[in-house]
Amino acid sequence: MRYVYPCILHPEADGGFSVSFLDVEGANTGGATREEALCMAEDALVAALGAYHRLRREIPLPSPVGEGQEAIRLQPVAAAKIALGTAMRQQGLNNIGLAKILGVTESAVRKLLNPDHQSHISTIDRALQAVGRSLIVEDQPAVQHPKSPALTST
């Protein structure tokens, strides 16, 4: 699953921008500039998808990015955490069940699923493998990410 969600930037009368996501209810934000709004969009997306997980709601699949829309991709660790939560839900596996499989505490699994908690990608990968999933890293031409300035040579 590629976690790249389309959003729409709406110019506001006061000069700022509001952002809405087509697929993720509650992932609304804004900013004073286009760049700030796009940066805030990823944070809003992660927060909304985290809330979906906590509420045991199905994570919505992203629609293709259409004309006039912006693509917001989740950072790899956040995407892996969402994938793990989705795999657990699909298998009817709760935190305690995954904790037993991994030989860790339930609170460790809670942290592993929390998009606001820092986790090492290899730990999430191990958990994904334990539920029969694989994490695959792929690169492709970049869509400039608001939080990641383009690399420049000096």
What are the angstrom distances between the C-alpha of 151 and each of 35, 137, 144, 145? 17, 20, 11, 12
pTM of the model: 0.81
Please count the CA atoms within 13 angstroms of the CA of 100 that sit on its side-chain side.
Answer: 4
pLDDT in tens, 88-127: 989 999 999 999 999 999 999 999 998 888 999 999 999 9
Whether 84 and 116 map to the same domain: the answer is: yes
In-domain check, residue 106: yes
Tell me what the pLDDT averaged over the chain comes to.
90
Supply the pLDDT for residue 151.
Answer: 43
Tokens 């729409």 label which residue? 8
Sequence-separated (6 or more) residues with CB below 8 Å from residue 110 = 95
Statement to judge: residues 68 and 9 lie in one domain: yes
Domain count across the chain: 2
Residues 80 and 125 in one domain: yes
User: Which of 14-18, 51-55, 138-142 is modeled with the greatest confidence?
Assistant: 14-18
Q: What is the pLDDT of residue 144?
A: 61
In a domain, 80, yes or no: yes
Helices marked H in the chain: 34-54, 76-91, 95-102, 106-113, 121-130
**Among 89, 60, 76, 149, which Cα is nearest to 115's?**
76
Do 28 and 51 lie in one domain? The reply is yes
In the predicted model, what is the mean pLDDT of residues 79-86? 92
145 falls within a domain: no
Count CB neighbours of 41 within 10 A. Answer: 26
Residue 106: give the domain boundaries. 76-130
